[in-house]
Amino acid sequence: MSERRIRIETPALTRVEGEGRLDVDIRGDRIHRLHLDIFEPPRYFEKFLEGRHYSEVPDTVARICGICPVAYQMSAVQALESAFGIRPSPWVEAMRRVFYCGEWIQSHALHIHLLAAPDFLGFDDVMAMAREHPATVNRGLSLQGLGNALIALFGARSVHPVGARVGGFHHAPTPAEVAALVERLEAAIPEAEALVRWTAELPLPDEAQEFTSVALRHEREYPMVAGRIVSSAGLDVAAEAFDEHMQERHEPHSTALFAAIDGEPYLVGPLARLNLNRDRLPAAVAAVLSETGIGFPSANMYHSVVARAVEILFAVREARDLLAGYREPDSPWVAASPRAGDAAGATEAPRGLLWHRYRTDDAGLIRHARIVPPTSQNQARIEQDLHAALRAGGLDRPDDALRRHAETVIRNYDPCISCATHFIDLRVERGS
Amino acid sequence: MTDERKPRVAVHKFSSCDGCQLAFLNLGPDLLRLAELVEIVHFAEAGPSNPDADVDIAFIEGSVSTPDERERLRRIRAHSGFLVTIGACATSGGLQALRNLRDSESEWREAIYARPEYIDSLAHATAIREHARVDLELWGCPVDGRQVLAAVRALLFGVPPVEERDKVCLECKRHQTVCVMVARGEPCMGPVTRTGCGALCPRFGRDCYACYGPAEGANTTSLAHRFEGLGLAPEAVARRFHFIHSGQEPFTGAGNEAAGIIPGKAR
């Protein structure tokens, strides 16, 4: 019996955010062991939050992830506002959506162009790809820059933005600043449409797998900052009840926890969102998607890159529409009066569902925090996908081919390993 | 650096959020231009992976918090000409250095992970300079593209990079920003914080929270008294100093003093 052990050594798992490695042990014609090792050190954020004032939470949780700080801030303020019984103004609700659109555009454009596309076009990295496809890369970088500008409009900077607070924003942009961005958004619509078509024409492998999609679903909107948590297997719960259905477990090879619903792995992220919410796309975006001929829901994980492009187009148009007729509010925030409470918040980070729960005391200090990031939810699903994909492609391929295939599979999920490791279920279990 | 070949650059990640690497990845067309000026030999998030290659400039994001990271840093130092830390984690330990204050790592590990024995982690998360010689520190949580490009330019020209050491207050004056502490009683950290951000928070009408670390000659004692005068409880004053740069003096000491913590003793 032939035995092969393939190890994609650190930090050779490249073009992902954070540090991980893949360990595959192949014996004969079967995979004996397959581990996505996440060894990014824990940073104990949930513990740092204990004893902090609620007003410090947005600036703290932003530091969990440099690529999706807006998502962390928005899930946190939603949970805290719910704990305190505050309802932000319609202006705040709309502008939070714009702020979040910026992060989707930025993060998705970064992933498509800098992390994923080199796989599909056979380049080592974006620098090499730019030499042969300068227009495509420049289009991507320009969309990424637009996303960053949209975040900075409300946050002053795009990494660890400083504008978000419980109750709203510290600052409202001026109509002139908004008008300048609306012009850029308008100009970006044809670019984003072209990007959707470009991703649909990539030489993507045609592989179907069975998996469960999980995402927010809202009565009208394409989901971002509001909605119930639903799954393709029939789950339909309020954010408050999510922890009753989702279980996390700790495996020796990972500093991130593995999530499951009813014991089964599941997918979160752009493909899951689009699979569950295609009917919530505005007509103009749905039309561009239809022209590609790719049907959603899709069982092909590689269609994630198309879903990301569709969401960029959606976010560009959504931000433009929400900023049309912009007026400065009397106040960009409502005052909070803290009270003892316990509430959850859930929003759709670029990489998928991001769920927070906080318990506060009557002085507004955090007594308990729990954060479930998208990548730890996807971790079990990534391993499940790797098992199927590597077997389907043939285990007798040379190591290099297997390694390249595995890396491509992993990158599809846009894993953010930095995020994934800092969250853990605080319920203590001890074996005897 | 010789004239014969392009300077070789590496970007390494330790315990961090990846946000300072975005100072490169968010450069847009300048990233491609940078890749023409220098040879990027290691930058795992962008693709090139060659962690042990000899380089002229190594940028390091993140703090040291595992035995493996300590060893990795030793090798990087041995292979690098200039070693530049980018951001709060690498420069002062960052937010995760909060765990050092109470020596709580092992307790937290046991409280959080079902199988704590699987986690290989040091008791403290510390700045790069505590483990290796550092040639240049770029402050900020996060650093921005302007800072890293200025550093690359200066090093390529063989001149020492210009360092901003002024306080955020001076930046506010330059922008004619209304003082949020004087006008609104906000507990602003601007008087003790190094500028470089462009006074973003006061310009948004809110208090600075010191993400660029302590300024030169920061009078933390006086500011702590001012915060008490604004009505902050001692623990709230301590939290102002024990936040992004809790691992950096004089913030460590100022926070300890406010909270009545005697270093080395468990609370």
Choose from A57, A121, A418 for mutation: most chain B CBs within 10 A.
A418
CB contact under 8 A, B236 and A53: yes
How high is the pLDDT of residue A12? 56
CA distance A228 to A346: 9
Residue for token pair 């798992």: A13
CA distance B54 to B76: 8
More confident position, B177 or B48: B177
- The answer, for A159 touching chain B at a CB cutoff of 8 Å, is yes
Give contacts of B 123-162 with A, CB under 8 A: 125, 141-142, 144
Residues of chain A with pLDDT under 70: 1-2, 7-13, 39-40, 255, 417-432
Choose from B18, B31, B40, B72 for mutation: most chain A CBs within 10 A.
B18
Residue for token pair 């041995």: B78
Question: How confident is the model over B211-229, as a mean pLDDT?
Answer: 96
pLDDT above 80 (res B115): no
Closest partner CB to B28 (pick from A18, A69, A144): A144
CB contact under 8 A, A56 and B239: yes
Which residues in chain B touch residue A14, judged by CB atoms under 8 angstroms apart? 44-49
β-pairing, A168-169 with A214-217? unpaired
Residue of A nearest to B51 (CA): A11
CB contact under 8 A, B112 and A426: yes
**A80 near A358, Cβ under 8 Å?**
yes
Q: How far is B192 from chain A (nearest CA, A)?
A: 19
Question: How are strands ordered across the β-sheet holding B8-13?
Answer: B39-43, B8-13, B55-61, B80-86, B136-138
Lookup: tokens for A213: 């999609």
Which residues in chain A touch residue B244, judged by CB atoms under 8 angstroms apart? 63
Residue of A nearest to B34 (CA): A127
Q: How far is A59 from chain B (nearest CA, A)?
A: 9
How high is the pLDDT of residue A430? 26
Q: How far is A29 from chain B (nearest CA, A)?
A: 30
Lookup: tokens for B13: 């990640």
Contacts of A218 (CB under 8 A, 6+ apart): A226, A227, A228, A280
Q: What is the average pLDDT score of chain B?
A: 91
Closest partner CB to A18 (pick from B18, B23, B144): B18
Lookup: tokens for A274: 């689009």
Q: How far is B231 from chain A (nearest CA, A)?
A: 14
pLDDT above 50 (res B25): yes
Give contacts of B 210-229 with A, CB under 8 A: 211
Q: How far is A231 from chain B (nearest CA, A)?
A: 27
> Class of the A45-420 domain?
mainly alpha
More confident position, B116 or B25: B25
CB contact under 8 A, B15 and A114: no
- The answer, for B259 touching chain A at a CB cutoff of 8 Å, is no
Closest partner CB to B47 (pick from A14, A45, A69): A14
**A316 near A189, Cβ under 8 Å?**
yes
Q: For chain B, how big is the Rg over CA atoms in Å?
A: 20
CA distance A6 to A12: 12
β-pairing, A20-27 with A341-349? unpaired
β-pairing, B39-43 with B55-61? unpaired
ipTM: 0.94
β-pairing, A236-237 with A246-249? unpaired
CB contact under 8 A, A124 and B66: no
How high is the pLDDT of residue A181? 98
pLDDT above 80 (res B262): no
Residue for token pair 């560009």: A316
- The answer, for B50 touching chain A at a CB cutoff of 8 Å, is no
Question: Which residue segments constitute the domains of chain B, with CATH numbers given?
Answer: 8-157 (3.40.50.700), 168-259 (no CATH)
User: DSSP label at B96?
Assistant: G
How high is the pLDDT of residue B188? 98
Contacts of A67 (CB under 8 A, 6+ apart): A17, A107, A110, A350, A416, B18, B19, B22
Residue for token pair 């030499």: A131
Contacts of B53 (CB under 8 A, 6+ apart): B8, B10, B41, B42, B79
- The answer, for A408 touching chain B at a CB cutoff of 8 Å, is no
CB contact under 8 A, A41 and B45: no
Domain ranges of chain A: 45-420
Choose from B61, B69, B112 for mutation: most chain A CBs within 10 A.
B112
Residue of A nearest to B98 (CA): A48
Residues A293-305 have pLDDT tens digits of 999 999 999 999 9
CA-based nearest residue to B127, from B71, B82, B63, B42: B63
Give contacts of B 153-212 with A, CB under 8 A: 197, 200-201, 203-206, 209, 211
